[in-house]
Structure 1
């Protein structure tokens, strides 16, 4: 195959497998649906997990697709030859159909046939066996490769850590795998010698996992048992495949990346050689665009933390290159031009994504600047950066440790990374607290015998109490036949009135009692839905013994359910009111519905005005007073969406969906529990509204008794304030404003730099102002920056004391092509001792010898005007 681009490779791959009996399917969103084990889809197989466990029937036994994926495990390696954050996975699967030999034949035929790779450059790895697992080497795969045409000396047996996949959790499907590597040539290292080390980092690059052969089910007891059917899962990174087919040195040289890297260089004004930071910025913003096009916005936790981390690293890299502002629009545009034709949602969301990235950049820019200033102070004070310092910069200013490391190195100092990770570990332990038990997680892969059972039948729409049969008990994360009083268990039954957490609504709580055995009683503290479809009832057994096979009566706490149902209905009304008042662009971005309150996240470019929030609150209460009845219809998903029902993007509603309506003002797809009439909400009050991420707002509200309590508490507080201000409640606001205005005072001296004996002169045709100053370092920097701009001259300020001498230099924009602030500080520290750093416009340092006007003028004389491209670096 001649040199080709990514679009052609995608189509060649898919057509090959279609010719060979595979059905082409659409790739899924990057945001996993119904899979709490992942923040993002990280492999082609991830959206298809349930096909391999038998929980769902695939549309055909043999499938193929191209799936966008995000992996951050190797994020520190991004920028090398082949590590990237967002990539496209070319995947094929056979579920209960063909196995190893057919998978190998197809892989070899595609690589050496349609793709035209030289078979002499291909090496393959196979599972080398594992005594601990009780498994021999995978000779079946090795023989299949030999029959296909790969010589035995290019078939490498590797241990389980390299060539045995899974399970995804403590138990579940797993098996050996076989991978294909491309020999990239002797310039990247010595050739492999049978029996020697197989270099998979430099010379031999993996281009295809040609088969994960899922043939075992690992039980919770650690024993491997044969699966009821075997399957094949393959995956090849599109970017690496283009590298292989075109003989390129790096994935950043491919058609998928090269235009983007050039755009980054243009934005930074750094044409010529492609440097490491060009690749990292290109990769990270490409990944951020892909993630955010699927509806995720930067935030402090969960999925939102990933794009925030990516964007912030790019901002920090740019500022470390003396770019005060990274222009993201051209970079986003290049990403969309490259990937938009394949992923139309990127083009549709381009404007919103560009705005959100720019907002994150602007919000973080000032923080980064303060972080860089703090880093300069640490370097000036200690001559090194400790792990504790690095953690403080990370926790307080958001500077990633790898950025701190690079910036420290540029200043000629080291960073103690081990101490950083120890500080990070301690912080995480304190944040998590200690865990005393092991509950079954919703993502734990269950034994095949348990996972293959039908999903728990939910009866809770019609009743709060029902009899059921105990199918499975889990104690401390493993199966148990019985659980006695004083112990906790996870209980799966065949039918239940308990709602399992989902759609933002928390799970029900209540009691479980064994039928026919007085005294056997347990409290259900939480209900969640396992990935297999079984409801997990978190039970604390109060008395007696609970056994598998028992018939039990499950009773939901009616008060908790009623409050939760009211808050869920209020969430729907709030959604409709926000769309009515703010506009149809409002989209749900998350929610939490619990007995005490509701929390609703929604997309909106800025904070709603107070009068808009008041209009939303008033509208919801008007709808409550209409006493509109609940209407429920079940219909096909596409029909429901066509009818105007609001749905949550990325949610898997199944083929038949439940459509919930109140009056003509609210209509949504929803599986949760709700009140029968809107009047059962009583009243609705907004407690708070705030930003949680770029372009995402959050409303917290209450209903029923808590809404009444909130109104009474607010009224009482207003009366107290009015009494304190000696005014009436209706005049509280103007009275408070007068009090605040009276309390305002000018900034204190400690917040402003004071100048003494200022001297204005000209040094080598450069206008300069020099002055000894008093105040904090921050005040000196602000004074120097402002004065340099106002007076259009270089400003040099310094402080002296017994503890330290501080120097700050600021160069105005008009003189930036003649002098650099960091170069002047470097000259001063060479002459007077000490160290420092900064950028072309402003820099600071700590001096060993106290400076004077005369000594600093001599420094200026010695520093000839520099071109803008020169850089001063302090030792």
Structure 2
């Protein structure tokens, strides 16, 4: 079965069950400071999981492109990936555990759909603790479908619980579905999640609690279902492969690396080729996103830089260089029809990959000079970006032994410090400071319209990030704004705040919505129906109107005083404004 067949079957199955197909969102989250990338299909849906009404209804399905960087160090095994496609279905207060589990089981085992052997399926459910009881409903449902009790593991929160996304908010138990990937004749009667031949292929999350500031778990009024199944793993399982990199979603890239290096995908080369293939696929998708992310030393740009440089570093193990563009060409060819933004932005992708690869060659040169001076390996790594593996290899050639344990200890301290800093940086997202982020979200709409009026040209949004303290708005503009222009924008926004304009929402089909003149991103994909937020008495005469999922305040006078604190360049032809409300 092909990847496209699985994509089509998944969407068709849930469409038959009354779900509306919604498009994949950008890899770069809008107005969610808690994550750098879209890491799951649920991220773009957070406002709707919290109670906002989705224009498409209460039963949704899509295939979301995702980036997860937590697993970067694990990339190189057979199943962890930085970029992946997440097939997901949601119920926003419509159905719950019984139906969700039935849908999952039917799609996996019915001959009309995936046709997996139900005798090779095992599951896990939440065991319960002092805050929430054992998930008996999920347990009994699996039994009724013919899953033996020996194949139903009762596991603690660390295994079978999701959320909340922040310190407070929606959360609940989940049930994970595993498939035996070993010899069918050797399928164990009892499920043991420590056995790597049991591969997790689907996760159904049941959001039924709200965690309060006091740490209590209270029942949610709207119980939601959020499920996710990775396409790459599913494709490998369906085709009886024990290596995701041998599927059509990776093998053309591996073959290209084999040709460039004149080496085979075997032995020590396996891990190296997997890392190169994974990282450059992820980098291609990040660069291909309409938000225009480029390699740099902060946020998404830093992750992108790390992926490219790590791939280049491992390329040296295979004695290849100046190869990133050639790998990206394969990725664009593989995915260009499914994700047309890759084909559209291919020149941008190729240029940035080549430039970053050339820059890293210079970094390597600096690192080599510092190595010759006897600089500590940890300083080489953190200050000069010089890979520890290369330091170790060079030291071995000179008969010098490096204490890897000491390096690992220093790195662990460094990572813990980084994680702590990040946790502080990302406090106060939509999940735990809704009122402040809601105000700043509305202020962002006012800012965009004010820029359009003052600069006298259409303003194309290139990115947006909001936390409880400030808004950040990136837009296409090819010069620095003057102090007078910034003051005019600030004054105009504050004027509209003082006018106490109403903020309204309307839902309509996409054709009608486009005729209203509401601002939207032409690179983004929308469903059949969209929501428009407009600021003013009517949609026709609104001062501002944009395609948007919300949330927003009800009138502009709730915002307070608007202040621009910074205006700067972030890339060629892209300016950034940071602003606050007080």
Instruction: Write out per-residue CA displacement over residues 712-754 of structure 1, whole angstroms, 9 at most, x where no aligned residue.
Output: xxxxxxxxxxxxxxxxxxxxxxxxxxxxxxxxxxxxxxxxxxx
Aligned residue in 2 for 1:723: none
Q: Cα distance 1:424–1:81, how it changes in 2: closer, same or farther (>3 A)?
A: same
CA contact (8 A) 2:65 2:86 kept: yes
Contact 1:298 1:360 in 2 (8 A): yes
Q: Which residue of 1 aligns with 2:407?
A: 417
Q: TM-score, normalised by structure 2?
A: 0.76
Shift of 1:428: 4.8
The equivalent residue for 1:761 is none
Q: 1:338 aligns with which of 316, 331, 334?
A: 334
Q: Does 1:312 align with 2:309?
A: yes
Contact 1:646 1:669 (C-alpha < 8 Å) held by counterparts: yes
How many angstroms does 1:432 deviate by?
5.6
Match of 2:362 among 366, 380, 384: 366
| Pairing 1:277–2:272 present | yes
* Residue of 44, 48, 61 corresponding to 1:47: 44
Decide whether aligned partners of structure 1 residues 149 and 335 sit closer, same or farther in structure 2, where only a CA change above 3 A counts.
Answer: same
Q: Displacement of 1:503 after TM fit?
A: 6.3
Which residue is 2:555 aligned to? Answer: none
d(CA) in 1 for partners of 2:423 and 2:55? 41
Q: Is the 8 A contact 1:61 1:96 kept in 2?
A: yes
Query: Which residue in 2 is equivalent to 1:115?
Result: 114
Segment of structure 1 superposing worse, 251-260 or 391-400? 391-400
How far does residue 657 in structure 1 lie from its aligned partner after superposition? 4.2
How big is the shift at 1:647? 6.1
Match of 1:398 in 2: 385
- TM-aligned CA deviation for residue 688 of structure 1: 11
| Equivalent position SS for 1:56 | coil
SS at match of 1:221: coil
CA contact under 8 A between 1:216 and 1:224: conserved in structure 2? yes
Partners of 1:390 and 1:420 within 8 A in 2: no
Q: For residues 99 and 407 of structure 1, what CA distance do their matches in structure 2 show?
A: 58
Please say which of residues 233-242 and 415-424 is displaced more in the overlay: 415-424
The counterpart of 2:351, out of the listed 342, 345, 355, is 355
Query: Secondary structure at the residue paired with 1:115?
Result: coil
The CA deviation at 1:589 is 4.2
The CA distance in 2 between the partners of 1:347 and 1:74, in whole Å, is: 27
- Match 2:73 to one of 76, 83, 88: 76
Cα offset for 1:183?
1.1
Deviation at 1:204, TM superposition (A): 1.2
Question: Does structure 1 conserve the Cα–Cα contact (< 8 Å) formed by 2:168 and 2:212?
Answer: yes
Q: Secondary structure at the match of 1:313?
A: helix
* Structure with greater strand share of residues: 1
Of residues 186, 194, 199 in structure 2, which corresponds to 1:199?
Answer: 194
Determine if contact 1:647/1:668 at 8 Å carries over to the other structure: no
Distance 1:178 1:631, change over 3 A: same
Question: Which residue of the partner structure matches residue 655 of structure 1?
Answer: 532
Contact conserved, 1:503 with 1:670, CA < 8 A, in 2? no
| Partners of 2:422 and 2:251 in 1: CA distance | 46
CA distance in 2 between partners of 1:419 and 1:97 (Å): 49
Relative to 1, partners in 2 of residues 1:235 and 1:668: Cα closer, same or farther, differing over 3 Å?
Answer: closer
Residues 160 and 251 (structure 1), Cα distance of their counterparts in 2 relative to 1, 3 Å cut: same
- Structure 1 residues without counterparts, runs of 5 or longer: 382-387, 459-497, 506-564, 580-585, 660-666, 673-686, 702-875
- Secondary structure of the residue aligned to 1:655 is strand
Q: Please give the residue correspondences for 1:481-520 in structure 2 after superposition, counting only pairs within 5 Å.
A: 502=444
Partner of 2:174: 177
Measure, in 2, the Cα distance between the counterparts of 1:433 and 1:67. Answer: 25
Whether 1:286 aligns to 2:281 is yes
SS class of match (2:376): helix
Check the 8 A contact 1:40/1:69 in 2, yes or no: yes
Which residue number corresponds to residue 217 of structure 2? Answer: 224
- Which residue, 290, 293, 296 being the options, matches 1:299? 296
After TM superposition, list the pairs within 5 Å mapping 1:613-652 onto structure 2.
none
Is the CA contact (8 Å cut-off) linking 1:40 and 1:303 kept in structure 2?
yes
Compared CA separation, residues 259 and 97, structure 1 to 2 (3 A) = same
Contact 2:116 / 2:238 at 8 angstroms: preserved in 1? yes
Match of 2:541 in 1: none
**Shift in Å at residue 269 of structure 1?**
3.5
Please state if 1:85 is matched with 2:78. no
Cα contact 1:51–1:58 (8 A) shared by 2: no
Find out whether 1:21 has 2:18 as its counterpart.
yes
1:443-842 alignment, distance < 5 Å: 443-445=430-432, 502=444, 576=457, 589=462, 655-657=532-534, 692=570
Q: What's the CA shift for 1:300?
A: 1.1
Does the Cα contact within 8 Å between 2:128 and 2:134 map onto a contact in 1?
Answer: yes
Q: CA deviation at 1:658?
A: 5.7
Q: CA deviation at 1:102?
A: 1.6
Q: Partner of 1:256 in structure 2?
A: 249
Preserved CA contact (<8 Å) 1:31 1:650: no
8 Å CA contact retained: 2:166, 2:427 = no
Q: Distance in 2 between matches of 1:411 and 1:107?
A: 57
User: For the residues of structure 2 that align with 1:575 and 1:261, how far apart are their CA atoms?
Assistant: 49
SS at match of 1:445: coil
2:560 matched residue in structure 1:
none
How does 1:124-135 map onto structure 2 within 5 Å?
124-131=123-130, 133=131, 135=132
Three-state SS of the structure 2 residue aligned to 1:275 is helix
Q: Partners of 2:436 and 2:567 in 1: how far apart?
A: 42
Residue deviations 1:757-804 (CA, integer Å, cap 9, x gap): xxxxxxxxxxxxxxxxxxxxxxxxxxxxxxxxxxxxxxxxxxxxxxxx
Instruction: Give the deviation of 1:11 after TM superposition.
Output: 0.5
> What is the rounded CA distance, in whole Å, between the counterparts of 2:244 and 2:514 in structure 1?
43
SS at match of 1:63: strand
Q: Conserved in 1, the CA contact under 8 Å of 2:518 and 2:546? A: no
RMSD: 4.6
Bigger Cα Rg: 1
Measure the CA separation in 2 of the matches of 1:106 and 1:397: 51
Q: 2:228 matched to 1:239?
A: no
Counterpart of 1:519? Answer: none
Asked if structure 2 preserves the Cα contact closer than 8 Å seen for 1:504 and 1:591, the reply is no
**8 Å contact from structure 1 (residues 317, 403) kept in 2:** no
Q: Distance in 1 between matches of 2:307 and 2:450?
A: 37
Residues of 1 paired with 2:531 and 2:150: CA distance?
Answer: 50
CA contact (8 A) 2:31 2:465 kept: no
Q: 1:70-95: CA deviations, max 9, x gaps?
A: 10111111121100001000111122
